Amino acid sequence: MIELQDVILFLAAYLIGSIPTSVWIGRRFYATDVREHGSGNAGATNTLRTLGKKAGLVVLLIDIFKGWLAVSLAVLSTYPKGSSQLIHLEVAMAFAAIIGHIFPIYVGFKGGKGVATTMGIIIGISPIIALLCLIVFAVVLLVSHYVSLASILAVASFPFWITTVFKSHYSGFVYSWLIAFSILLPMMVIIMHRKNISRLLKRQESELNLFSKKKD
């Protein structure tokens, strides 16, 4: 049964996820809407390419934080720690946060692709799994220099890490719910990268070298 607290926390997670970090920082400090430059994406990578490394890093950290915060707010519910009700609420709030990031209410529902916010969500659910996904991201980025490819493969590894880490902790419907979540969340992020996938296949995707000397 859905309770009033569930609805309130779900909406709170959406509003937190909707915070358009790159848009607000770009407008406030650079008089620039990042959605009108580069890839047109309101995310950390396009911010880095458009506004520089400092702005990109700030956007990245805030977007990660808001994903973590959205999920962590579930502890304000009356559900016991580790209970199936709390896990279900955390998953629902995770989806609310990522939907908010992709379709932010504050700036006309045109947001980012959700990679950094997804990382924050995974940190809130399991720091160990977040670290494993981060390792996948770092290795792929260092080898390929494609942020999009690194992001896709990192989130695609999420279901594997969920089954590896949580298999001995949960069973039955709760475990199935977590597995479904671990598949649906990456699917949303991958769908948002469909243009990147097309460019990767055509070998037209832009590379990113973090050690290049560009504007700060």
Q: How many domains would you assign to the chain?
A: 1
Angle between helices 172-192 and 158-166 (to 10 degrees): 160
Q: Is 206 inside any structural domain?
A: no
Q: Is 104 inside any structural domain?
A: yes
Q: What is the pLDDT of residue 215?
A: 47
Q: Could you tell me the residue range of the domain that residue 35 belongs to?
A: 4-201
Q: What is the pLDDT of residue 178?
A: 84
Q: What is the pLDDT of residue 150?
A: 96
Residue 204 CA, chain-centre distance (Å), reads: 24
Q: What is the pLDDT of residue 31?
A: 94
Q: Is 214 inside any structural domain?
A: no
Task: Identify residue 87 by its one-letter amino acid code.
Answer: I
Q: What is the pLDDT of residue 144?
A: 94
Residues 6+ apart with CB under 8 A from 195: none
Q: How many CB atoms lie within 10 A of CB 52?
A: 14
Closest CA to 196 of 147, 153, 157: 147
Q: What is the pLDDT of residue 212?
A: 57
Q: Is 49 inside any structural domain?
A: yes
Q: Is 114 inside any structural domain?
A: yes
Q: Is 61 inside any structural domain?
A: yes
Q: Is 215 inside any structural domain?
A: no
The tens place of each residue's pLDDT in the chain, 216 residues long, gives: 789 999 999 999 999 999 999 999 999 999 999 999 988 889 999 999 999 999 999 999 999 999 999 999 999 999 998 788 998 899 999 999 999 999 999 999 999 999 999 999 999 989 999 999 999 999 999 999 999 999 999 999 999 999 888 776 766 777 788 889 999 999 999 999 999 999 999 999 988 876 555 444
Structure-block tokens of residue 26 = 């770009």
Residues 6+ apart with CB under 8 A from 35: 23, 41, 42, 110
Q: Is 27 inside any structural domain?
A: yes
